[in-house]
Amino acid sequence: MTRSASPALPIAYSQEVAAARARAAPLVALESTIITHGMPYPGNLDMARSVESIIRAEGAVPATIAVIDGVLHIGLETAQLEALAQTDGAMKLSRADLAFAIAERRTGATTVAATMIAAARAGIRVFATGGIGGVHRKAEETFDISADLEELSRTGVIVVCAGPKAILDIPKTLEVLETRGVPVVSYDSPVFPAFWSRDSGLPSPLMLNSPAAIANFQKTRDQLGVDGGMLIANPVPAESEIPREEMEIYITRALDNAERDEIAGKEVTPYLLDALFRLTDGRSLATNIALVENNARLAAEIAVALSE
């Protein structure tokens, strides 16, 4: 790389993504924090691979996003994905530090917020994940509100998730999204889902029943000049869900442990996911994988509908 006064951003597209961009094929962005900080190896790699193949089967192209040695990758080659899934010290990148990792030539995984920034920059309009970050319980004391919510309000990407992780304060999370003008749409369900469970006990602000209707809603927002993102909440398939009452028992225990261990900041979400994995004997992980796969399918369908 030659150096000039203002070198271009180090950005690399995988072969598959570059080819898809050249023919304007529908693309679906995928985050990488779920790989490095959300699930243990090798389940994380199995999940990452299966999600990519589900997107291909629906006629779209997957673009897993990560920073590797200071290069922003839009789409990972097979060996890069395998290496990332086994990397230990990857940073967990959000809006605050995505550029830091690039500038300092570090390796880092992108959260929902950082993945949205990278996807928007690459012209990718749809993104599949598991659960977004949100307002943590006791946020009135800790001020812990995920940067994912702010990003949804400003960056024009459709994020398909299974609801906010139930470890969060879901009513407060919905309040913030409403305040920031983020449309929250449940897919084919009148109730708002809560990640491992299909029903959070709260009604959904909006509901749509088909990828075409979601694409049409987005096109209308574009016509109206309303920018920012949109959140699609896709309930986990019934056969994979852990009912809310049961999950709540484990969540209470995991939150108690987090408080005892004085976990704060970026550590909170990975700590709780790991604690739940152990408290549920791995069941929470199986559910997590099933819901990400389900979201990948819907995101691909939306990307295809948007391109029609």
280 binds ligand PSU (CB under 6 A): no
Q: Cβ of residue 215: shortest distance to ligand PSU, in angstroms?
A: 24
Q: Cβ of residue 15: shortest distance to ligand PSU, in angstroms?
A: 25
Helix orientation angle between 43-57 and 78-86, rounded to the nearest 10 degrees: 150
The identity of residue 163, as a single letter, is G
151 binds Mn ion (CB under 5 A): no
Choose, from 16, 31, 241, 301, the residue flagged as catalytic.
31
Could you tell which of Mn ion, ligand PSU, none binds residue 75, using a CB distance below 5 to 8 A set by kind?
A: none
Residues forming a β-bridge with 64: 30
> Cβ contacts of residue 87 below 8 Å, gap of 6+?
36, 107
- Of the pair 144, 169, the CB lying nearest Mn ion is at 144
CA 217 remoteness from chain centre: 21
31 binds ligand PSU (CB under 6 A): yes
Pairwise CA distance, residues 184 & 134, whole Å:
13
* Binding span for Mn ion by CB under 5 A among 32-40, 136-144, 164-172, 285-293: 136-144
Choose, from 92, 151, 165, 241, the residue flagged as catalytic.
165
- Of the pair 125, 165, the CB lying nearest ligand PSU is at 165
> What single string gives the DSSP state of each residue in 194-254?
BTTBS--SSB-SEEE-SHHHHHHHHHHHHHHT--S-EEEE-PPPGGG---HHHHHHHHHHH
Q: Considering only CA atoms, which of 215, 193, 196 is closest in space to residue 205? A: 193
75 binds ligand PSU (CB under 6 A): no
| Residues between 94 and 153 that touch ligand PSU (CB under 6 A) | 111-112, 129-131, 133, 146-148
Query: Of the candidates 97, 144, 148, 169, which one interacts with Mn ion according to CB under 5 A?
Result: 144
* Other CB atoms within 10 A of residue 52 CB: 22
Whether 266 sits among the annotated catalytic residues: the reply is no
Q: How many residues bind Mn ion (CB under 5 A)?
A: 1
Q: Cβ of residue 38: shortest distance to ligand PSU, in angstroms?
A: 3
Whether 31 sits among the annotated catalytic residues: the reply is yes
Annotated catalytic residues are 31, 165
